[in-house]
Amino acid sequence: MYLLIPAAGSGKRMGADQNKLFLQVRSQSIIAWTLLAAQAASSISWIGIISQPHDWEDFKAIMADLKLTKPIELIAGGSTRQESVYNGLQALPADAQQVLIHDGARCLATPDLLNACAEAIRHYRGLIAAVPVKDTIKIVDESGIIQSTPDRSQLWAAQTPQGFDVELLKQCHAEGVRQGWEVTDDAALFEKCGIEVHIVLGEETNLKITTPQDLAIAEFILTNR
């Protein structure tokens, strides 16, 4: 299975002046933990890291320290996640039929979750890892006034990995460019193109590292694994 890792995250919400994936959790960078999970996932045979070229030397140093045995390719990212994934799709080996896309900042995803998504995408055209929402969600207008309360039983929090048929995802990205769609994940492109996206049960600990508080939570989770 081929794995693309969007890894061009800025450190703005972290208060950092570098790619947040280079920040440390338990003496390893965030991206190192993500790569170690991919290395340990038996289904993953190739890894593409999509990032800005000015970060490549740092990525190469991390990869060398980890002594990873799977082939890894550095791919130039775009100005948005959507553009970056588009670039990653073009860089896939010619024989890639399915692909998993996993955010580099989700460094707590386990090899078991990567393997489960890799197995499931052999049976579906598109899927995402997700977990049922526990909190009551409110729809709020620009004035801060609650407009409605959606039925929680139908709400899921999207995670990554997300898995897709490569050719279909390329077509959806091309349509997104043609129509000027701006989306936050690749599943939304499938939805806009009317293609079914299935759910694979994710992991409650599979959080996205976005704030300093997330770093502390990740430290706690990794310490107790």
Residue 153's DSSP bridge partners are none
Secondary structure element (H or E) that encloses residue 111, with its range: helix 111-120
Check pLDDT > 70 for residue 218: yes
Name the E strands within 19-171.
Answer: 24-25, 28-29, 46-51, 72-76, 98-101, 126-132, 139-140, 146-148, 156-165
* Interatomic CA distance for residues 92 and 46, integer angstroms: 9
Give the residue-averaged pLDDT of 108-118: 98
- pLDDT for residue 17: 73
Could you give the percent of the chain with pLDDT greater than 70?
96
Q: Where residue 129 sits, what CATH number does that domain have?
A: 3.90.550.10
- Number of domains the chain contains: 1
Query: What residues make up the domain containing 103?
Result: 2-224
Mean pLDDT of 58-83: 96
3-state secondary structure of 82: helix
The angle formed by the CA atoms of residues 98, 104 and 109, to the nearest 5 degrees, is 80
- The predicted-structure confidence for 88-100, as pLDDT tens digits, reads as follows 999 999 999 999 9
pLDDT, position 13: 60
Average pLDDT, the chain: 95
Q: Please report which helix (H) or strand (E) contains residue 91, including its range.
A: none
pLDDT in tens, 137-170: 999 999 999 999 999 999 999 999 999 999 999 9
pTM: 0.94
- Tell me: pLDDT of 75 over 80: yes
How does residue 10 score in pLDDT terms, banded at 50, 70 and 90?
Answer: low
Residue 213 has pLDDT above 90, yes or no: yes
State how far the Cα of 129 lies from the Cα of 158, in Å rounded to an integer. 6
Phi-psi region of 61 (alpha: psi -120 to 50; beta: other; left: phi over 0): alpha
